[in-house]
Amino acid sequence: MSKPLAADYLVFAFFLLGPFVEWLWLWPRHVRAIAAGARGARAAYYWATIATEWIFTLYVLALWAVFGRPWDNLYLGGSPLFRLGSGLAFALAVIIFFWYQHRTILARPQLIERVRQEMSFADPLSPHTDAERYHFWCVAITAGICEEILYRGFLFSFLRTWSGLTGAIVISSIVFGWGHIYLGYRQAPRTALVGLFLAVLVVLTKSLWPAILIHAAMDFSSGELGFAVCRKS
């Protein structure tokens, strides 16, 4: 990536300041709306999230197009066939694992109760109705595409200019965890570890596509588990 412009720092400010707004205002407001039984609260939150992520993602893609930057810097350019193929095969294996995990949990009542307890922090986010479930699918797809472009694409490229490869991997993962602080202090480090795993995968495959598939599948699986647990309560 060439020397960052003021437009790049605007996106970087979003990574640092956006989680504050989410954590201290938007998420508590959403939780209160859910507790009050506000109709359509989850769907409204889903679509606000979708709109925000796509706005910043399209802004980043526009920066690359307008300034003629190499798409390889976003890991959206060409990737060696073997690396890409291996990454996609690994992503497929992860998706199959999520599917098997889902079936295993739903077949064992004791596991369902454990999942209900472990996912209680995300109850305001988990879909509870069929309509919310379909909306959440859009959230999962959006998160897979947009968050990988933003965190493992733009942010990684932005940080690499200043901190090198290793620094970009570590710092982008920490920022990814920070971006999910609204879910609680305990979830931020766990999310950072997920970010670290995805960052390493992107570097090894030289492509965002395997990470996009895994990220979307991970969020989709979480939503489906939350929905299933809710239905069985």
Q: What b/e readout covers 190-199, taking b as 16+ CB neighbours within 10 angstroms?
A: ebbebbbebb
pLDDT of residue 132: 97
Instruction: Pick out the chain residues at pLDDT < 70.
Output: 1-4, 232-233
DSSP H or E stretch at residue 41: helix 41-66
Burial label for 174, CB within 10 Å (0-12, 13-18, 19+), is middle
Tens of pLDDT, residue by residue over 202-212, are 999 999 999 99
159 token code pair: 């940080």
Q: Is the dihedral of CA 111, 114, 118, 121 positive or negative?
A: positive
Tens of pLDDT, residue by residue over 54-94, are 999 999 999 999 999 999 999 998 899 999 999 999 999 99
pTM (two decimals): 0.94
Residue at token pair 């069985």? 232
Burial label for 132, CB within 10 Å (0-12, 13-18, 19+), is buried
Domain boundaries, the chain: 6-232
Q: How far is CA 151 from CA 11, 56, 220, 221, in A?
A: 11, 11, 19, 21
pLDDT of residue 78: 85
End-to-end CA distance of the chain: 50
